[in-house]
Amino acid sequence: MSTTAVLERLAGRPERFPGALLLTGASDARLEAEARRLAAILLCAGNDPEAGRECRRRVAAAMHPDLLVVLPQGVQIRIDAVREGVRFGAGKPYEAARRVAIVTRAELLGVEASNALLKSLEEPGGHFHWILTTTRAEALLATIRSRCVAVPLVPESRPERAAAWAARGFAAEDAAELAGLEPVTEEEAPALLEAHRRWRDDVLLALERGTGERRIAPLLLLAEALAHAPPERARLLAELLADAAVAAGASSDLLRHKAVAGAIHGLARRLPPEVLRRAALKAADVPADNRRGNKRLHYESVLLELIGS
């Protein structure tokens, strides 16, 4: 059973859920999404289906009266925010049977804020839970770590993530695509999926115009957009090029982006597999955007090599 499944089962039995949980992993976004998902299970237990959906939406938006999210202010989590969390935990639940406070990026707790948190972590009370998240557990005070049940979120495989989305009621095609995106709540997923598909269509259109019509301008505009895109969007170029490299004579079932198999096969017909493979590898090896590396120039080089082949 995966770590996520174990946590979900514990959250379904709140009396056994840790009073202080420390979630660790490589992605702040995934950690925060998992913390809110667990909070929703704790706070929305016992609701009928319709009320449960509304409850989960409010938790995801941090609008539930029995949820408090402690966020960094600038470069640290301030002691005032921690004291607010302690007071919150000492109060009676307003709507649910318990209360939850989430501390995101807990490595930004200063010494004073950490010390203000210690007693509540050790004795949170029977109806209150702390959930701390961090990508750098070693940066927390040892006294904080010792008072929490530490649970690392092991990276899930893409098929596991797809199965999890399918279990939430998403169609197989949607679940497969969501598995490749940054973690989001169930309520945010449709909008993210729509934005992802629009972006993918834009990338494919630029590639079609550039490689099919031998036009430089669409490729330069795409390079500029990629240079300023978040990582999950920027890596889409490498994925599409890799799909095209294996598309010649291959079944669409082998492609990562099956939904746009037609456009990918069109790209494969225009360019040799070796050119596409080389471009995919180069596109995935993005330099840091500093004096020794410039993302825009990097993507320009990748894309212009396609029409120079």
| Burial environment of residue 86 by CB neighbours within 10 A (0 to 12, 13 to 18, 19 or more) | middle
Tokens representing residue 299 in the block: 């993507």
* Percentage above 90 pLDDT, the chain: 53
State the pTM of this model. Answer: 0.60
Tokens representing residue 118 in the block: 């210690």
Is 64 in contact with 140 (CB distance < 8 Å)? no
Structural domain boundaries in the chain: 3-155, 189-308
116-129 tens-digit pLDDT: 999 999 998 889 99
| CATH number belonging to domain 3-155 | 3.40.50.300
| Burial environment of residue 172 by CB neighbours within 10 A (0 to 12, 13 to 18, 19 or more) | exposed
Cross-strand partners of 150: 22
**How much is the pLDDT for 158?**
79
138-150 tens-digit pLDDT: 999 999 999 999 9
Give phi and psi for 32, each to the nearest 5.
-65, -40
**How much is the pLDDT for 13?**
73
